[in-house]
Structure 1
């Protein structure tokens, strides 16, 4: 066993040290996901993440910077022990300036050329999702929970070509989550084949307006038939107006036809509150879109999340987002797509991650392209 500074405090929940968790399941992880968007230009998104896998001896991080027609990706991994709670992987680090209020992320010099010093500043309280529990082959594949928080960003970014961007909260909006629990790892040789997901449409959408924050995580097997729904809305701190719970989410989304990968144009989302009242949000997709496969989601050229890669490993690449032949590969694992959201006269922003699979029965234009036309089927 290893001791960490957290072991000094009266916060233990199991008869183990803080370097260990109560299950030996290798898929147990704890992760940050953070997305920053330039809402004025509408074409720049920086998404980053940190992940701790105590039963894999892995701490990993990534940064995906998408601006205009290029996306730069940096993937980092180190052995977790003995620094089991250090929130640093190579040049990327996170400082908890004030819990649940301010998080500072820095990326120092590295071979990708991307650098930043950017602080997430919360504008709303965190929103705790319901527990996510799913079983596959008589095993709990999902047993996780997360909270989501909306905010603004402050700091600077230096792009790979040397351009310095000043990040100010008037135009840079941000969303983040913190999740922990068991979630499927990429399949390895000798494991049983994966089962097709029960869901056929997925939408993860943290959205914020001046006086309202909304978060939706919806999985549907068919239109109007959710297999998982966690949705809530809150007012800013100090606004005591109560909001009833969200009990249903309806949507009518528009998609780009003949796109190289599913691409949202916009549409309408209707939230039904307990008691029958509804809230309608109008969505318009912007150009900015950070493709998460650059961070290792669903794997990229042999890099898989949670995979042990030794003491310290770093790799980077740059994608041409106008390359139609490869665009499906980049977008396959979903993306943080910047959207404008309107409710009445109020205007706000957020991101939507989305996927539509064959058999859903709607949004045919959002289905992945036929396998024969793909340049990569991994």
Structure 2
């Protein structure tokens, strides 16, 4: 079946554009945004995250917005049948408009009876060029579980955010955040039978260590990605400085290393240090750049949004032609196991010292340590920091 996109010269395979180049059920194509009022904002701390995905081989589109506002965790989520038009970026009351590709996008959550606590009309405008990250590829028992590509960029926000009936002005002088686009294959939809992966000998080896950091400074942004197995072997890594001056090329920072301390009784990061080791060349020492990371506000991204914690609402799961829901709970009431088994998107202060100058920035420190991790002494999925 054709769609309006077929009128553009953008085909990659000998199929209509709405058909992707693989029949893998887990193919996805999605947007992610985050938004905050700055590190020195008055009032209740606030961190908004928005996502929208299409799952062509499952016939589903879904979207969510999740707000950390003080101790409130507020979720608006929606799911619908995908339909034939991949350019339709609307899922119930939430929609995305690409105003200028790779630069300006509008994100809207219309007021709805199902989601009375939250609505917004916001425009993202980039302050650095979009940066293409390292391709993420991983196999498990010969099955390709991850084969994804993503680009990311930081920017400023403007518009209005309404919480509990109060309209909050969003102005680009202080409101910051980042957004990304990713696509490819990763686990989505209804859970598949695990098969041999359920074997206890293999299950004990399964782990997920992930750091994804987007640091926003005045003249540049730094993007860091690391995934490791339980022994610390790298599956993917990337560390890039992207300049606000679009005439300057992105700069590879070297191999990223991490040193984390945790909140006692949890796996949540209290403080972190990231080091970037760039080879100095023959006979010369490595160049080492260090950034300290001070998490200020943890946001439990997986709670209620579809990242796999709730078995009745997962990204790409069939919910019906159109379903819209709202959820709300207090952060202290979120079950500890949920906090441990989901990515935590921390609003974070970053401090970088380079060539005698100190730079302070803000942004995302996303962390997930699920299962065993030898580096930090977690021998099983239930272990926590002393």
TM-score by length of structure 2 reads 0.87
Does 2:330 match 1:332? no
Q: Secondary structure at the match of 2:144?
A: strand
Q: C-alpha distance in 1, partners of 2:308/2:110?
A: 26
Q: 1:307 aligns with which of 303, 307, 317?
A: 317
* Alignment gaps of 5+ in structure 1: 372-378
- Deviation for aligned residue 1:172: 1.6
Aligned to 1:78: 80
- Deviation for aligned residue 1:368: 5.9
Residues 198, 227 of structure 1: 8 Å contact kept:
no
Residues 321, 327 of structure 1: 8 Å contact kept:
no
* Alignment gaps of 5+ in structure 2: 281-285
Q: C-alpha distance in 1, partners of 2:159/2:287?
A: 40
Q: C-alpha distance in 2, partners of 1:13/1:87?
A: 21
Aligned to 2:331: 321
Residues 277, 288 of structure 2: 8 Å contact kept:
yes
Aligned to 1:152: 156
The 1:206/1:15 distance shift into structure 2, 3 A limit, reads: same
Residues 335, 353 of structure 1: 8 Å contact kept:
yes
Aligned length: 365
> For residues 300-356 of structure 1, what are the alpha-carbon distances to aligned partners after superposition, in whole Å with 9 as ceiling and x for unaligned?
2511111122210112210111226x2432553112110001113211111111122
Q: C-alpha distance in 1, partners of 2:371/2:20?
A: 38
Does 2:299 match 1:296? no
Residues 255, 264 of structure 1: 8 Å contact kept:
yes
- Deviation for aligned residue 1:210: 1.1
Residues 280, 343 of structure 1: 8 Å contact kept:
yes
Does 2:234 match 1:229? no
The 1:172/1:13 distance shift into structure 2, 3 A limit, reads: same
TM-score by length of structure 1 reads 0.89
The 1:363/1:44 distance shift into structure 2, 3 A limit, reads: farther
Aligned to 1:219: 227
1:124-273 correspondence runs (5 A): 124-159=128-163, 161-185=164-188, 188=191, 190-192=193-195, 194=197, 196=203, 200-222=208-230, 225-238=233-246, 240=248, 244-259=251-266, 262-273=267-278
> For residues 240-267 of structure 1, what are the alpha-carbon distances to aligned partners after superposition, in whole Å with 9 as ceiling and x for unaligned?
3x664233111222221124xx222222
Residues 190, 316 of structure 2: 8 Å contact kept:
no
The 1:189/1:9 distance shift into structure 2, 3 A limit, reads: closer
The 1:135/1:187 distance shift into structure 2, 3 A limit, reads: farther
- Deviation for aligned residue 1:187: 5.8
Aligned to 2:363: 350
Q: Secondary structure at the match of 1:6?
A: helix
Q: Secondary structure at the match of 2:303?
A: helix
The 1:239/1:11 distance shift into structure 2, 3 A limit, reads: closer
The 1:4/1:189 distance shift into structure 2, 3 A limit, reads: closer
Aligned to 1:10: 9
Does 2:33 match 1:34? yes
User: Which segment is superposed worse, 295-304 or 51-60?
Assistant: 295-304
Residues 231, 375 of structure 2: 8 Å contact kept:
yes
Q: 1:359 aligns with which of 349, 372, 375?
A: 372
